[in-house]
Amino acid sequence: MSTQVKVLLTLDLGNSEKVESVMKALIPDNINFPRGLSMEMNAQGNILLLSFKSSRKMQSLISTIDEVLEHVSTMSRVLG
Protein backbone atom coordinates (compact mmCIF):
# COMPACT_ATOMS: atom_id res chain seq x y z
CA MET A 1 0.00 0.00 0.00
CA SER A 2 1.46 3.36 -0.99
CA THR A 3 0.98 6.56 0.92
CA GLN A 4 0.27 9.75 -0.98
CA VAL A 5 1.73 13.00 0.30
CA LYS A 6 0.27 16.35 -0.74
CA VAL A 7 2.07 19.67 -0.33
CA LEU A 8 0.54 23.07 -1.13
CA LEU A 9 2.85 26.06 -1.39
CA THR A 10 1.46 29.59 -1.45
CA LEU A 11 3.97 32.12 -2.78
CA ASP A 12 3.27 35.87 -2.81
CA LEU A 13 5.31 37.17 -5.74
CA GLY A 14 4.15 40.78 -5.40
CA ASN A 15 2.27 41.21 -8.66
CA SER A 16 0.20 39.20 -11.09
CA GLU A 17 2.51 39.81 -14.06
CA LYS A 18 5.38 38.17 -12.19
CA VAL A 19 3.13 35.24 -11.26
CA GLU A 20 2.18 34.70 -14.92
CA SER A 21 5.83 34.92 -16.05
CA VAL A 22 7.00 32.46 -13.41
CA MET A 23 4.20 30.04 -14.32
CA LYS A 24 5.20 30.18 -17.99
CA ALA A 25 8.83 29.57 -17.06
CA LEU A 26 7.89 26.53 -14.97
CA ILE A 27 5.86 24.82 -17.71
CA PRO A 28 8.89 22.88 -19.07
CA ASP A 29 9.62 21.66 -15.50
CA ASN A 30 6.10 20.29 -15.28
CA ILE A 31 6.55 17.95 -18.26
CA ASN A 32 7.73 14.36 -17.90
CA PHE A 33 7.45 14.20 -14.12
CA PRO A 34 8.35 10.75 -12.80
CA ARG A 35 5.43 8.38 -12.30
CA GLY A 36 3.86 8.93 -8.88
CA LEU A 37 4.84 12.60 -8.69
CA SER A 38 2.85 15.60 -9.97
CA MET A 39 2.72 19.37 -9.73
CA GLU A 40 -0.17 21.73 -10.50
CA MET A 41 0.11 25.52 -10.72
CA ASN A 42 -2.57 28.14 -10.23
CA ALA A 43 -2.55 31.92 -10.03
CA GLN A 44 -4.65 34.03 -7.69
CA GLY A 45 -3.63 37.64 -8.27
CA ASN A 46 -0.19 38.12 -6.70
CA ILE A 47 -0.21 34.54 -5.39
CA LEU A 48 1.31 31.51 -7.09
CA LEU A 49 -0.11 28.24 -5.79
CA LEU A 50 1.98 25.12 -6.29
CA SER A 51 0.38 21.81 -5.44
CA PHE A 52 2.56 18.70 -5.30
CA LYS A 53 1.36 15.11 -4.96
CA SER A 54 3.66 12.17 -4.50
CA SER A 55 3.42 8.48 -3.84
CA ARG A 56 7.20 8.15 -4.20
CA LYS A 57 9.90 8.33 -1.54
CA MET A 58 9.81 11.50 0.55
CA GLN A 59 13.32 12.50 -0.59
CA SER A 60 12.15 12.53 -4.22
CA LEU A 61 9.34 14.94 -3.33
CA ILE A 62 11.65 17.15 -1.28
CA SER A 63 14.20 17.30 -4.10
CA THR A 64 11.52 18.22 -6.62
CA ILE A 65 10.10 20.98 -4.42
CA ASP A 66 13.61 22.31 -3.78
CA GLU A 67 14.35 22.43 -7.51
CA VAL A 68 11.07 24.19 -8.34
CA LEU A 69 11.59 26.76 -5.56
CA GLU A 70 15.10 27.41 -6.84
CA HIS A 71 13.65 28.13 -10.31
CA VAL A 72 10.98 30.41 -8.82
CA SER A 73 13.64 32.28 -6.85
CA THR A 74 15.84 32.73 -9.93
CA MET A 75 12.92 33.94 -12.04
CA SER A 76 11.84 36.33 -9.28
CA ARG A 77 15.31 37.89 -9.19
CA VAL A 78 15.46 38.17 -13.00
CA LEU A 79 12.03 39.79 -13.19
CA GLY A 80 12.84 42.17 -10.36
State pLDDT tens for residues 6-46: 999 999 999 999 999 999 999 887 777 888 999 999 999 99
Architecture of 5-79 per CATH?
A: 2-Layer Sandwich (3.30)
Q: Report CA-CA distances (Å) from 53 to 23, 40, 78.
A: 18, 9, 28
Asked if residue 67 has pLDDT above 60, the reply is yes
Return the pLDDT at 17.
94
Return the pLDDT at 18.
95
pTM of the predicted model as reported, rounded to 2 decimal places: 0.88
Q: Report CA-CA distances (Å) from 40 to 1, 20, 32, 78, 80.
A: 24, 14, 13, 23, 24
Average pLDDT over residues 35-58: 94
| Domain chopping of the chain, boundaries | 5-79
From CA 31, how far away is CA 26, in angstroms rounded?
A: 9
Residues contacting residue 2 through CB under 8 Å, at least 6 positions apart:
36, 55
**Strand 37-44 and strand 5-12: pairing?**
unpaired
